[in-house]
Amino acid sequence: MGIQLTRNLLARAVVSVALVGLAVAGCSEKTPGGATAGSTTTSEESSPRTTSSAAAGNALENFDACAELKAVSGQFGLSEIEEEPGDSCSARWGQTTSTVQIKTRPTQGISEVALGEHAQPSDIKIGKHEAKRVKAVLSKTDCLVAVAVTAKSRVDFTGSSTASADEACEAARSLATAVEPKLPA
């Protein structure tokens, strides 16, 4: 019974972190123009393609969310570290029912954080970086700390708890503070 309850709480916390990630995703970039048929022949002289984020000098191209989560795992007793789609990594926070997530957003600044109905945003500073803390970003027991890297890029640190938004915010803030020195200046 106790094991099943812990699994259910952990499953709800993981689902909450995933939903927060979707909620704060904001809009994606769209490239104007229409699709056209490509040539069936290739040329050795063609230039390599670059993505818009690489062409713009993606400040987060060398930041690895899972490597950073693993680097601080001993400090916080993190377990069940898992890579997720979209430059994201999550883990269980210590011996609690909370989970945390780090997600890079190379094309979205902190001004583009999507806010839910009960969201309580506030501007804060994490180390040398400007940040936005959003208590109850999606549900009443989650929290987001979005740390600005540039005006148009950020790293999101999300906490989700079955206990309270305060517990989730403490986990997200602590994780952000520990990882912040590894973020580009």
Percent of the chain with pLDDT over 70: 69
When pLDDT is cut at 50, 70 and 90, the band that residue 57 belongs to is low
Residue 168 has pLDDT above 50, yes or no: yes
124 phi and psi angles, rounded to 5 deg: -140, 180
Residue 44 has pLDDT above 50, yes or no: no
pLDDT at 3: 45
> In DSSP terms, which residues pair with 120 in a beta bridge?
135
Compute CA distances 119 → 4, 87, 98, 144, whole Å.
Answer: 31, 24, 19, 10
> By mean pLDDT, which of 29-43, 57-71, 115-129, 163-177 is the weakest?
29-43
Q: Could you list the beta-strand ranges (E) of 59-176.
A: 79-84, 88-92, 99-105, 120-126, 129-135, 142-150, 153-160
Residue 81 has pLDDT above 50, yes or no: yes
pLDDT at 133: 97
Burial class of residue 137, CB neighbours in 10 A (0-12, 13-18, 19+): buried
Residue 157 has pLDDT above 80, yes or no: yes
Q: Domains in the chain, start-ordered, CATH in brackets?
A: 2-25+58-182 (3.40.1000)
DSSP label at residue 114: -
Residue 12 has pLDDT above 50, yes or no: no
pLDDT at 82: 96
Amino acid occupying residue 114:
A
pLDDT at 11: 42
Whether the Cβ atoms of residue 9 and residue 97 lie closer than 8 Å to each other? yes
pLDDT at 167: 94
Whether the Cβ atoms of residue 115 and residue 134 lie closer than 8 Å to each other? yes
Cβ neighbours of 126 (radius 10 Å): 23
Amino acid occupying residue 28:
S
Whether the Cβ atoms of residue 144 and residue 4 lie closer than 8 Å to each other? no
pTM (2 decimals)? 0.71
> By mean pLDDT, which of 1-15, 41-55, 155-169 is the weakest?
41-55
C-alpha count within 13 angstroms, C-beta hemisphere, residue 166: 0
For residue 105, what are the contacts with CB-CB under 8 A and spacing of at least 6?
A: 25, 26, 60, 146, 153, 154, 155, 156
Write out pLDDT tens, residues 91-140: 999 988 899 999 999 999 999 998 888 899 999 999 999 999 999 988 89
